[in-house]
Amino acid sequence: MDIFLQLVINGLLLGGAYAIISIGLTLIFGVIRVVNFAHGEFLMVAMYAAYLFSTQLGWHPYVAIVPIAILLFGLGALMQRAIIQPLLSADGHIQIFATVGVSTALMNLALLVFGADVLAIQTDVGTGTFFVGGFSIGEGPLITLIAALLLAWGMHVFLTRTYLGRAFRAVAQHQYAASLMGVNVPVIYILAFAIGSAFVGVGGALLTPQYPVFPTIGSYFVLTAFVIVVLGGMGSLTGALFGSLLIGLVDSLAGYYVAPDLKEVVYFAIFILILVFRPTGLFGLGRGSE
């Protein structure tokens, strides 16, 4: 029983890392209806930025969260304005090819600048472990989970209590009707993409003390993030949060009770079953980010 509870704790903590990446991804899709296949490489950029802040300036990645989030906010706004916006009226596969192209370019740029070496920072903050009631809890994963919950709550408040948030939801529901009501749709698109990218910037800063940095690190997380976004319901922030915790639990339990090499098979099987019986995902209710 103790082993099972420890695995549950580990799974929930892992879910926090998935959530902070998935929330930004589902926000972008919920508002703009574009799947950003460069989202993982944005995470990679954020982690390299955190590594540079740590090694060159002596800043802990947690201290560098704000500048890294601003950097990713700008990168997201630039990508949306320069690449996505001109392609919004194009076929969906053209948009996919464009984001895949950005992903490939960023990955190869990282290879060119940093090489293929696996890099890591040395820090005591966010890498330790403490015990509560005999159960082991990692400092970094706990901080990441708390941050994910706070960001999800903050985004919910933003979307439901502010004029700009209501504009986001209006555009997500029907962009033409929103434009008739005076909403500047292109600006909302830029802000949605930029904020979703800033979320992954925060995630990169939080994950750098826990994981090494290398050019393909984004692929390690983003494939699972796509599963979570579809599983929870495309465009649903609630679904992204609960889907992340669910996949974290499945990852932890399947890795122990089935086999570490087969845990992805287990949650992909669950993912397929849910899509068969509920194609909109667990929390999919239609257009809009709730």
Q: How far apart are CA 189 and CA 197, in angstroms?
A: 12
**Mean pLDDT on 18-40:** 92
The answer to whether the CB of 238 falls within 8 A of the CB of 23 is no
Please say whether the beta carbons of 197 and 49 come within 8 A.
no
Who contacts 112 (Cβ-Cβ below 8 Å, separation ≥6)? none
Task: Tell me the per-residue pLDDT of 133-175, one tens digit each, with 9 for 90 and over.
Answer: 889 999 999 999 999 999 999 999 999 999 999 999 999 999 8
Distance (Å, rounded) from C-alpha 102 to C-alpha 124? 35
Distance CA 130, CA 122 (A): 19
Is the pLDDT assigned to residue 250 strictly greater than 80? yes
- Average pLDDT value for residue range 211-215: 95
The residue among 259 and 106 whose pLDDT is bigger is: 106
Residue 284: pLDDT band (50, 70, 90) is low
Structure tokens of 122? 């040395």
Q: With beta carbons less than 8 A apart as the criterion, state whether 217 and 110 touch.
A: no
CA–CA distance from 5 to each of 42, 95, 141, 257 (Å)? 34, 43, 16, 13
Residue holding tokens 């849910």?
Answer: 274
> Is the pLDDT at 199 greater than 80, yes or no?
yes
Helix axes 237-257, 263-277, angle to 10 degrees: 140
The answer to whether the CB of 148 falls within 8 A of the CB of 206 is: no
DSSP assigned state of 130 = E
Q: What's the whole-model pTM score?
A: 0.92
Residue 269: pLDDT band by 50, 70, 90 thresholds? confident
